[in-house]
Protein backbone atom coordinates (compact mmCIF):
# COMPACT_ATOMS: atom_id res chain seq x y z
CA UNK A 1 0.00 0.00 0.00
CA UNK A 2 2.72 2.42 1.06
CA UNK A 3 4.76 1.24 -1.93
CA UNK A 4 2.01 2.26 -4.36
CA UNK A 5 1.77 5.72 -2.80
CA UNK A 6 5.55 6.06 -2.83
CA UNK A 7 5.62 5.18 -6.53
CA UNK A 8 2.94 7.77 -7.28
CA UNK A 9 4.91 10.37 -5.32
CA UNK A 10 8.10 9.51 -7.20
CA UNK A 11 6.19 10.03 -10.46
CA UNK A 12 4.95 13.38 -9.04
CA UNK A 13 1.33 12.23 -9.35
CA UNK A 14 0.40 14.14 -6.21
CA UNK A 15 -3.38 14.19 -6.63
CA UNK A 16 -3.60 10.42 -7.00
CA UNK A 17 -1.14 9.88 -4.11
CA UNK A 18 -3.16 12.25 -1.93
CA UNK A 19 -6.40 10.41 -2.78
CA UNK A 20 -4.81 7.10 -1.76
CA UNK A 21 -3.39 8.49 1.48
CA UNK A 22 -6.78 9.94 2.38
CA UNK A 23 -8.50 6.66 1.58
CA UNK A 24 -6.00 4.47 3.44
CA UNK A 25 -5.20 6.58 6.48
CA UNK A 26 -8.02 9.15 6.81
CA UNK A 27 -9.92 7.17 9.43
CA UNK A 28 -6.81 6.25 11.43
CA UNK A 29 -5.63 9.85 11.55
CA UNK A 30 -9.12 10.96 12.58
CA UNK A 31 -9.22 8.40 15.40
CA UNK A 32 -5.85 9.54 16.65
CA UNK A 33 -7.14 13.12 16.63
CA UNK A 34 -10.21 12.00 18.61
CA UNK A 35 -7.95 10.26 21.12
CA UNK A 36 -5.76 13.32 21.56
CA UNK A 37 -8.42 16.04 21.46
CA UNK A 38 -11.30 14.11 23.10
CA UNK A 39 -13.79 15.98 20.91
CA UNK A 40 -15.12 14.45 17.68
CA UNK A 41 -16.03 17.78 16.04
CA UNK A 42 -12.70 19.39 16.81
CA UNK A 43 -10.89 16.19 15.77
CA UNK A 44 -12.56 16.37 12.37
CA UNK A 45 -11.41 19.98 11.90
CA UNK A 46 -7.87 19.05 12.91
CA UNK A 47 -7.93 16.02 10.55
CA UNK A 48 -8.79 18.43 7.74
CA UNK A 49 -5.87 20.65 8.74
CA UNK A 50 -3.60 17.59 8.74
CA UNK A 51 -4.58 16.57 5.22
CA UNK A 52 -4.32 20.16 3.99
CA UNK A 53 -0.78 20.31 5.40
CA UNK A 54 -0.07 16.97 3.74
CA UNK A 55 -1.32 18.33 0.41
CA UNK A 56 0.95 21.38 0.73
CA UNK A 57 3.92 19.22 1.73
CA UNK A 58 3.57 16.46 -0.91
CA UNK A 59 6.00 18.04 -3.43
CA UNK A 60 8.63 18.18 -0.65
CA UNK A 61 8.36 14.44 0.13
CA UNK A 62 11.90 13.06 -0.06
CA UNK A 63 11.17 9.34 0.31
CA UNK A 64 13.32 8.86 3.44
CA UNK A 65 10.35 7.61 5.50
CA UNK A 66 7.33 5.62 4.36
CA UNK A 67 4.42 7.90 3.34
CA UNK A 68 2.32 6.61 6.27
CA UNK A 69 5.10 7.34 8.80
CA UNK A 70 5.48 10.80 7.31
CA UNK A 71 1.72 11.41 7.48
CA UNK A 72 1.52 10.19 11.10
CA UNK A 73 4.34 12.57 12.06
CA UNK A 74 2.43 15.50 10.52
CA UNK A 75 -0.71 14.25 12.27
CA UNK A 76 0.90 13.92 15.72
CA UNK A 77 2.51 17.37 15.51
CA UNK A 78 -0.71 19.01 14.32
CA UNK A 79 -2.73 17.30 17.07
CA UNK A 80 -0.19 18.36 19.72
CA UNK A 81 -0.37 21.99 18.53
CA UNK A 82 -4.17 21.80 18.62
CA UNK A 83 -4.10 20.33 22.14
CA UNK A 84 -1.79 23.14 23.30
CA UNK A 85 -3.97 25.79 21.66
CA UNK A 86 -7.07 24.18 23.19
CA UNK A 87 -5.66 24.14 26.72
CA UNK A 88 -4.58 27.79 26.32
CA UNK A 89 -8.08 28.71 25.11
CA UNK A 90 -9.62 26.81 28.03
CA UNK A 91 -7.40 28.62 30.53
CA UNK A 92 -8.41 31.94 28.99
CA UNK A 93 -12.12 31.14 29.03
CA UNK A 94 -12.00 29.89 32.64
CA UNK A 95 -11.27 33.46 33.67
CA UNK A 96 -14.36 34.67 31.84
CA UNK A 97 -16.90 31.96 32.66
CA UNK A 98 -18.50 32.09 36.10
CA UNK A 99 -21.47 29.73 35.61
CA UNK A 100 -20.65 26.01 35.78
CA UNK A 101 -21.44 24.17 32.53
CA UNK A 102 -23.91 21.30 32.61
CA UNK A 103 -22.43 18.10 31.26
CA UNK A 104 -24.62 15.83 29.18
CA UNK A 105 -22.31 12.84 29.56
CA UNK A 106 -23.71 9.69 31.08
CA UNK A 107 -22.48 9.02 34.63
CA UNK A 108 -20.79 5.79 33.52
CA UNK A 109 -18.83 7.61 30.86
CA UNK A 110 -17.76 10.23 33.36
CA UNK A 111 -16.57 7.50 35.73
CA UNK A 112 -14.60 5.84 32.92
CA UNK A 113 -13.06 9.08 31.81
CA UNK A 114 -11.96 9.59 35.40
CA UNK A 115 -10.41 6.11 35.52
CA UNK A 116 -8.64 6.66 32.22
CA UNK A 117 -7.40 10.07 33.33
CA UNK A 118 -5.71 8.43 36.31
CA UNK A 119 -3.47 6.42 33.99
CA UNK A 120 -0.10 7.76 32.84
CA UNK A 121 -0.56 9.63 29.55
CA UNK A 122 1.13 7.02 27.35
CA UNK A 123 -1.00 4.20 28.82
CA UNK A 124 -4.16 6.26 28.33
CA UNK A 125 -3.20 6.95 24.73
CA UNK A 126 -2.36 3.31 24.02
CA UNK A 127 -5.50 1.83 25.54
CA UNK A 128 -7.78 4.45 23.95
CA UNK A 129 -6.23 3.95 20.50
CA UNK A 130 -6.32 0.18 20.95
CA UNK A 131 -10.12 0.29 21.15
CA UNK A 132 -10.57 3.10 18.61
CA UNK A 133 -8.37 1.15 16.18
CA UNK A 134 -10.47 -1.99 16.70
CA UNK A 135 -7.82 -3.77 18.78
CA UNK A 136 -5.07 -3.59 16.18
CA UNK A 137 -1.69 -3.38 17.94
CA UNK A 138 0.21 -2.78 14.69
CA UNK A 139 -1.89 0.31 13.85
CA UNK A 140 -1.51 1.69 17.38
CA UNK A 141 2.27 1.19 17.17
CA UNK A 142 2.44 2.99 13.81
CA UNK A 143 0.25 5.86 14.97
CA UNK A 144 2.30 6.43 18.11
CA UNK A 145 5.64 5.64 16.45
CA UNK A 146 6.42 2.99 19.09
CA UNK A 147 7.58 -0.64 18.75
CA UNK A 148 4.75 -3.18 19.00
CA UNK A 149 6.32 -4.73 22.11
CA UNK A 150 6.29 -1.36 23.89
CA UNK A 151 2.65 -0.83 22.94
CA UNK A 152 1.74 -4.26 24.33
CA UNK A 153 3.60 -3.59 27.54
CA UNK A 154 1.82 -0.21 28.04
CA UNK A 155 -1.47 -1.87 27.18
CA UNK A 156 -0.97 -4.63 29.73
CA UNK A 157 -0.03 -2.15 32.45
CA UNK A 158 -3.07 -0.02 31.62
CA UNK A 159 -5.37 -3.05 31.72
CA UNK A 160 -3.97 -4.20 35.07
CA UNK A 161 -4.37 -0.69 36.53
CA UNK A 162 -7.93 -0.32 35.22
CA UNK A 163 -8.78 -3.83 36.43
CA UNK A 164 -7.66 -2.83 39.95
CA UNK A 165 -9.73 0.38 39.78
CA UNK A 166 -12.78 -1.72 38.82
CA UNK A 167 -12.46 -4.05 41.81
CA UNK B 1 1.50 -22.72 33.79
CA UNK B 2 2.07 -20.46 36.80
CA UNK B 3 -0.21 -17.55 37.78
CA UNK B 4 2.09 -14.88 36.36
CA UNK B 5 2.26 -16.61 32.97
CA UNK B 6 -1.52 -17.13 32.91
CA UNK B 7 -2.17 -13.44 33.71
CA UNK B 8 0.16 -12.44 30.87
CA UNK B 9 -1.60 -14.83 28.51
CA UNK B 10 -5.00 -13.47 29.52
CA UNK B 11 -3.84 -9.90 28.83
CA UNK B 12 -2.25 -11.05 25.56
CA UNK B 13 -5.38 -12.87 24.44
CA UNK B 14 -7.50 -9.71 24.30
CA UNK B 15 -7.68 -8.71 20.67
CA UNK B 16 -5.57 -11.67 19.54
CA UNK B 17 -6.32 -15.34 19.02
CA UNK B 18 -4.46 -17.95 21.09
CA UNK B 19 -3.42 -21.41 19.99
CA UNK B 20 -5.64 -24.25 21.21
CA UNK B 21 -2.82 -25.68 23.32
CA UNK B 22 -2.21 -22.39 25.19
CA UNK B 23 -5.95 -21.83 25.56
CA UNK B 24 -6.50 -25.27 27.06
CA UNK B 25 -3.52 -24.69 29.42
CA UNK B 26 -5.10 -21.40 30.55
CA UNK B 27 -8.50 -23.05 30.98
CA UNK B 28 -7.01 -25.85 33.07
CA UNK B 29 -5.25 -23.32 35.32
CA UNK B 30 -8.38 -21.17 35.68
CA UNK B 31 -10.37 -24.21 36.80
CA UNK B 32 -7.99 -24.66 39.75
CA UNK B 33 -6.99 -21.08 40.61
CA UNK B 34 -9.58 -18.70 42.08
CA UNK B 35 -7.32 -15.63 41.89
CA UNK B 36 -6.60 -16.13 38.20
CA UNK B 37 -10.21 -16.92 37.31
CA UNK B 38 -11.31 -13.72 39.06
CA UNK B 39 -8.53 -11.84 37.19
CA UNK B 40 -9.80 -13.34 33.90
CA UNK B 41 -13.41 -12.39 34.68
CA UNK B 42 -12.34 -8.88 35.68
CA UNK B 43 -10.36 -8.41 32.46
CA UNK B 44 -13.20 -9.79 30.37
CA UNK B 45 -15.71 -7.32 31.81
CA UNK B 46 -13.14 -4.53 31.44
CA UNK B 47 -12.81 -5.42 27.76
CA UNK B 48 -16.59 -5.41 27.28
CA UNK B 49 -16.90 -2.04 29.04
CA UNK B 50 -14.03 -0.43 27.15
CA UNK B 51 -15.35 -1.77 23.84
CA UNK B 52 -18.68 -0.12 24.63
CA UNK B 53 -17.15 3.13 25.87
CA UNK B 54 -14.50 3.58 23.22
CA UNK B 55 -16.37 2.90 20.00
CA UNK B 56 -14.55 4.05 16.85
CA UNK B 57 -16.09 7.38 15.86
CA UNK B 58 -17.23 8.08 12.30
CA UNK B 59 -16.33 11.14 10.29
CA UNK B 60 -19.23 13.26 9.09
CA UNK B 61 -20.34 13.11 5.44
CA UNK B 62 -19.17 16.69 4.95
CA UNK B 63 -15.56 15.82 5.77
CA UNK B 64 -14.44 14.93 2.24
CA UNK B 65 -16.27 17.68 0.29
CA UNK B 66 -15.11 20.33 2.77
CA UNK B 67 -11.50 19.09 2.58
CA UNK B 68 -11.54 19.01 -1.22
CA UNK B 69 -12.98 22.52 -1.33
CA UNK B 70 -10.21 23.74 1.04
CA UNK B 71 -7.63 22.14 -1.26
CA UNK B 72 -9.19 23.87 -4.29
CA UNK B 73 -8.96 27.18 -2.42
CA UNK B 74 -5.35 26.41 -1.56
CA UNK B 75 -4.55 25.73 -5.23
CA UNK B 76 -6.20 29.05 -6.19
CA UNK B 77 -4.29 30.86 -3.47
CA UNK B 78 -0.90 29.52 -4.56
CA UNK B 79 -1.77 30.34 -8.19
CA UNK B 80 -2.85 33.88 -7.24
CA UNK B 81 0.49 34.34 -5.46
CA UNK B 82 2.50 33.86 -8.68
CA UNK B 83 0.14 35.81 -10.96
CA UNK B 84 1.60 39.28 -10.07
CA UNK B 85 5.11 37.99 -10.87
CA UNK B 86 4.03 36.59 -14.22
CA UNK B 87 2.13 39.80 -15.09
CA UNK B 88 5.13 41.89 -14.07
CA UNK B 89 7.67 39.98 -16.15
CA UNK B 90 5.39 39.71 -19.21
CA UNK B 91 4.56 43.45 -19.07
CA UNK B 92 8.23 44.37 -18.74
CA UNK B 93 9.16 42.10 -21.65
CA UNK B 94 6.41 43.65 -23.81
CA UNK B 95 7.46 47.19 -22.85
CA UNK B 96 11.10 46.38 -23.64
CA UNK B 97 10.09 44.89 -26.99
CA UNK B 98 7.97 47.93 -27.83
CA UNK B 99 10.83 50.26 -26.90
CA UNK B 100 13.18 48.25 -29.15
CA UNK B 101 10.78 48.75 -32.08
CA UNK B 102 9.87 52.40 -31.48
CA UNK B 103 12.93 54.08 -29.96
CA UNK B 104 15.94 55.09 -32.06
CA UNK B 105 18.52 53.46 -29.74
CA UNK B 106 20.64 50.35 -30.11
CA UNK B 107 18.98 47.02 -29.25
CA UNK B 108 21.64 46.10 -26.74
CA UNK B 109 21.12 49.36 -24.77
CA UNK B 110 17.34 48.95 -24.79
CA UNK B 111 17.44 45.33 -23.60
CA UNK B 112 19.96 46.23 -20.90
CA UNK B 113 17.75 49.13 -19.73
CA UNK B 114 14.71 46.78 -19.85
CA UNK B 115 16.40 44.17 -17.62
CA UNK B 116 17.52 46.84 -15.12
CA UNK B 117 14.02 48.41 -15.04
CA UNK B 118 12.41 44.98 -14.56
CA UNK B 119 14.62 44.18 -11.58
CA UNK B 120 14.29 47.64 -10.03
CA UNK B 121 10.48 47.52 -10.19
CA UNK B 122 10.38 43.90 -8.96
CA UNK B 123 12.03 44.74 -5.62
CA UNK B 124 9.46 47.35 -4.41
CA UNK B 125 6.63 45.19 -5.76
CA UNK B 126 7.83 42.20 -3.66
CA UNK B 127 8.26 44.39 -0.56
CA UNK B 128 4.75 45.85 -0.91
CA UNK B 129 3.21 42.40 -1.53
CA UNK B 130 4.95 40.84 1.51
CA UNK B 131 3.86 43.73 3.74
CA UNK B 132 0.26 43.37 2.55
CA UNK B 133 0.40 39.62 3.26
CA UNK B 134 1.76 40.29 6.76
CA UNK B 135 -1.09 42.72 7.44
CA UNK B 136 -3.61 40.18 6.13
CA UNK B 137 -2.16 37.40 8.32
CA UNK B 138 -2.12 39.58 11.45
CA UNK B 139 -5.77 40.49 10.79
CA UNK B 140 -6.67 36.78 10.65
Is the domain of A83 the same as that of A112? no
Is the domain of A41 the same as that of A92? yes
Q: Higher confidence at residue B98 or residue A104?
A: B98
State the pLDDT confidence band at A91, using cuts at 50, 70 and 90.
low
Is the domain of A69 the same as that of A110? no
Structural domain boundaries enclosing B19: 3-53
* Under 8 Å between Cβ of A71 and A21: yes
Total tally of structural domains belonging to chain B: 2
Is the domain of B46 the same as that of B94? no
Is the domain of A17 the same as that of A97? yes
pLDDT digits 0-9 by tens, A45-71: 999 999 999 999 888 888 888 888 899
Is the domain of B85 the same as that of B132? yes
Total tally of structural domains belonging to chain A: 2
Answer with the one of A79, A101, A123 that is the final residue of a domain. Answer: A101
pLDDT at position A7: 86
Give the ipTM of the model, two decimals please.
0.71
Q: Give percent helix, percent strand, percent coil of chain A, each to the nearest 5.
A: 80, 0, 20
**In this model, does residue A76 exceed pLDDT 70?**
yes
Structural domain boundaries enclosing A158: 103-167
B63 touches chain A (CB under 8 A): yes
User: What is the model's pTM?
Assistant: 0.71
pLDDT digits 0-9 by tens, A6-56: 888 888 888 899 999 999 999 999 999 988 888 889 999 999 999 999 999
B122 touches chain A (CB under 8 A): no
Mean of the pLDDT values across residues A104-123? 77
- Does some domain include residue B58? no
- Does some domain include residue B95? yes
Answer with the one of A101, A121, A155 that is the final residue of a domain. Answer: A101
Answer with the one of A101, A120, A146 that is the final residue of a domain. Answer: A101
* Under 8 Å between Cβ of A66 and A2: yes
B69 touches chain A (CB under 8 A): no
Distance (Å, whole) CA B124 – CA B100: 25
* Under 8 Å between Cβ of A121 and A87: no
Chain B residues in contact with A27 by the CB 8 A cut-off are 56, 59
Is the domain of A96 the same as that of A108? no
Is the domain of A68 the same as that of A136? no
Q: Do A167 and B46 touch (CB under 8 A)?
A: no
**Apex B103 CA angle, B102 and B109, nearest 5:** 130
Q: Higher confidence at residue A153 or residue B23?
A: A153
A38 burial level (CB within 10 Å; 0-12, 13-18, 19+) = middle
Amino acid sequence: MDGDVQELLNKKRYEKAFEQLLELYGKKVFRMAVMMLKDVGRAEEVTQDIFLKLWQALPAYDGRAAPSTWLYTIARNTCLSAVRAESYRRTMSLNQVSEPTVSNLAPLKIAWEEYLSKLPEIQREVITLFYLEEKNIKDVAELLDLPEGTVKSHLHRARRALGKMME
Amino acid sequence: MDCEKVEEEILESIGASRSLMIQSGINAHLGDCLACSSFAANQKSLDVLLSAMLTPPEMSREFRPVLLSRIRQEKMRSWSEVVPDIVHFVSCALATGLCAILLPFGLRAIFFAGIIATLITYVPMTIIRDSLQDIKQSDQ
